[in-house]
């Protein structure tokens, strides 16, 4: 007769089913972690919104200053144009050289 060999079979460990209380604890732990991450993200977002508000405020001030300077320049150019028109309209200077505004 031939000799028979047999292998030793090692069973996988049996995982005990978690009871409802353990599952709830794990779920609450994961939820608390997610809420902490969300709080951190909201704080960073608020900081970014504050930075944006400051940038927009500075930009608004710059635009107002630019508008004021353009208005002053328009007045100066208008005065120079009027003076040039008066000088061009004097007799002996060739009449109206500049077109009216």
Is 55 among the domain residues? yes
Six-digit token string for 35: 């809420």
Q: What's this model's pTM, rounded to 2 decimal places?
A: 0.51
| Domain extent at residue 37 | 21-90
| pLDDT tens track for 60-79 | 999 999 999 999 999 999 99
Is pLDDT at 52 greater than 80 in this prediction?
Answer: yes
In a domain, 101, yes or no: no
CA dihedral 30, 35, 37, 40 (to 10 degrees): -160
Q: In sequence order, which residues have a C-beta less than 8 Å from that of residue 96 and are 6 or more positions away?
A: 85, 88, 89
Across the chain, what does the average pLDDT equal?
87
Is residue 99 one of the residues assigned to a domain? Answer: no
Q: Report residue 101's pLDDT band, with 50, 70 and 90 as the boundaries.
A: low
Q: 64 in a domain, yes or no?
A: yes
CA distance 32 to 38: 10
Written as one string, the DSSP assignment of 45-67 is: HHHHHHHHHHHHHHHHHHHHHHH
pLDDT value, residue 17? 66
Report the number of distinct structural domains present in the chain. 1
């Amino acid at each position: 007769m031939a000799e028979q060999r047999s292998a030793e079979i090692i069973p996988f460990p049996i995982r005990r089913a978690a009871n409802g209380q353990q599952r709830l604890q794990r779920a609450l732990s994961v939820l608390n972690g997610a809420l902490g991450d969300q709080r951190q993200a909201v704080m960073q977002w608020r900081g970014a919104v504050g930075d944006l508000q400051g940038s927009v405020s500075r930009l608004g001030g710059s635009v107002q200053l630019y508008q004021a300077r353009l208005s002053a320049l328009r007045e100066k150019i208008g005065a120079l144009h009027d003076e040039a028109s008066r000088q061009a309209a004097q007799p002996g200077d060739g009449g109206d050289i500049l077109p009216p505004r």
